[in-house]
Amino acid sequence: METSREVIGYQLGESALGTLLVATSVSGICAILLGDDGGELVRDLHRRFPRARFVPGAVAEEYFDRVARAIASPGARLDLPLDLRGTDFDLQVWRALQEIPAGSVQTYGEIAARLGAPGAARQVGEACAANSLAVVVPCHRVVRADGSLAGYRWGAKRKLALLRMEGARLGTPDLFH
């Protein structure tokens, strides 16, 4: 007898930052993915939730539209239920990121220190890379110790665009090393 598999609905469309995939579970939004290729975003979704059954087009239009608006205004709060999945440390990092005000940046080391793990800057970066909720969990607000922009799961150009949309003051003209 086959065990029941989790059902995840998803919707593809366009946003201010390119192709957008929004996915929902019974608990809330479980993925907000950005990119240039819808097929690659769907493959990424399958990699992130390998045991799920997927239903394309099964996200309420209102949810998709609200997420797209949040991406166009990254400082805005998205008042929809979120289904955050990660390790305990990932969840701590993601909560800390959500406390960074729009237009501000913090370093990986500052976040690690705030979590009581001052030597865990690399692990903070790994938690950022594991984040499935682009913009809503604002990994784009994290920079290197020298103020330069480190990589971003959805592309360095998107990270820079998000920070500029928020009016962040970026301290170095050579943002990408």
Residues marked as catalytic: 139
The whole-angstrom separation of Cα 2 and Cα 95 is 36
The whole-angstrom separation of Cα 31 and Cα 34 is 10
Nearest to 153 by CA among 3, 32, 25, 16: 32
Contacts of 23 (CB under 8 A, 6+ apart): 8, 9, 10, 11, 29, 30, 31, 32, 33, 45, 49, 59
H or E element that contains 78: none
Strands 7-15 and 53-56, sheet pairing: parallel
- Cβ proximity of 159 and 175 under 8 Å: no
